Homo-oligomer: A and B are copies of this chain.
């Protein structure tokens, strides 16, 4: 009913959508024109996604028709960063007595929800990822969604078979979903942390590690201790939450996580964002001052930083000099070979340049190695080796 014909969107659809969002029709039309409101494709074409934050609606929010109205799955709330723990926590969580501390895992953000009877995995930007959707259906206890069709799981897909952020540091063989938030459809209202943990435990879901509830008063010091421990195993950091989930959460990360980000960024120095690089470097500066490090610790931090930048940079530059192409090697594990084709088309549609290798049987599943080509860094580096000027 609402499909575009000759590029025109059905006026009745616009009218109903405007009514649902509380926007003027003209504004809705404008959002479509600017592609701030865009469609998924293929069998999920009816699912709209906000490609930009609009009014109170988060970027990545997904919206689709349900009955005579619409249903919304709100995007990931942006979790802002504490650059220093003191006084930031006391200022931000002013009035609370306790804070819930949970691990921030290094994986791929995904929402899982039941839509029209199907379990779908929705990415941070509001795409329906076919691979993540297959994994969610294989890995998760689907009974939960029948019991709570109105709830959306917000979690992290973690492990080596994650084609976006593959990590081996969590001792996971393939991939698992670690839930860190549950929110209601439409309202986006979150469950309090204790309630969420209880519910997830009941259904046997993996959850991000909890460091319990900590008094606000001692939180900066205690979190610094947790961060140091997490850093030793290259773990990323923590998310600091109001246990009632009324105030927005904050994040704080380990030096090792900053350096790990930098290693990745400088491997592909010509595609990584300049601000991304700088922010990770500046965090190192604040952490060493806040933690009052002595000259030995500081020197160690300088070495870590320098090596995190220069080692991957040297490797990429050398590889190109030696005639190799720069790529990132990732892997997926699927039950159904159709998922491989769907995922390949999906990445192509998103503009990711990949080479899919032949699937290998592994038990009742298939492993597929994927090379993600980093064309920009590759071409730039090669041009320099051929004598091009900066």
* Nearest CB of B to A341, in Å: 38
A269 touches B274 (CB 8 A): no
Q: In the complex, which residues of chain B have a beta carbon less than 8 angstroms from the beta carbon of A282?
A: 269, 313
Q: A182 at interface (Cβ–Cβ under 8 A)?
A: no
* Complex-state Cα separation, A204 to B227, whole angstroms: 63
Looking at the complex, which of A40-48, A167-175, A188-196, A298-306 is the stretch in contact with chain B?
A298-306
* Complex-state Cα separation, A321 to B88, whole angstroms: 14
Q: Given the known A-B contacts A305-B309, A306-B305, A385-B84, are A285 and B317 also in contact in the complex, defined by CB atoms under 8 Å? A: yes
Q: A250 at interface (Cβ–Cβ under 8 A)?
A: yes
* Complex-state Cα separation, A265 to B84, whole angstroms: 22
Encode A52-96 as 1/0 by CB contact (under 8 A) with B: 000000000000000000000000000011111001101110000
Main secondary structure of the interface of A (DSSP, over half): helix
* Complex-state Cα separation, A281 to B286, whole angstroms: 21
* Complex-state Cα separation, A250 to B82, whole angstroms: 44
Interface residue from B90, B286, B313, B385 paired with A387 (Cβ < 8 Å):
B90
Q: A35 at interface (Cβ–Cβ under 8 A)?
A: no
Q: A277 at interface (Cβ–Cβ under 8 A)?
A: yes
Q: In the complex, which residues of chain B have a beta carbon less than 8 angstroms from the beta carbon of A301?
A: 306, 310
B92 touches A387 (CB 8 A): yes
Q: A186 at interface (Cβ–Cβ under 8 A)?
A: no
Sample of 16 A–B contacts (CB below 8 Å): A80-B390, A83-B384, A83-B388, A84-B384, A88-B384, A250-B389, A269-B282, A281-B309, A281-B310, A284-B313, A285-B316, A288-B310, A301-B310, A302-B306, A305-B306, A306-B306
**Known A84-B384, A87-B385, A305-B309; 15 more pairs at CB < 8 Å:** A80-B389, A81-B389, A83-B388, A83-B389, A84-B385, A87-B387, A88-B389, A269-B282, A269-B285, A274-B274, A274-B277, A277-B277, A279-B390, A289-B317, A306-B306
Task: Please give the residue numbers on chain A whose beta carbons come within 8 Å of chain B beta carbons, in ascending order.
Answer: 80-84, 87-88, 90-92, 250, 266, 269, 274-275, 277-279, 281-282, 284-286, 288-289, 298-299, 301-307, 309-311, 313-314, 316-318, 321, 384-390
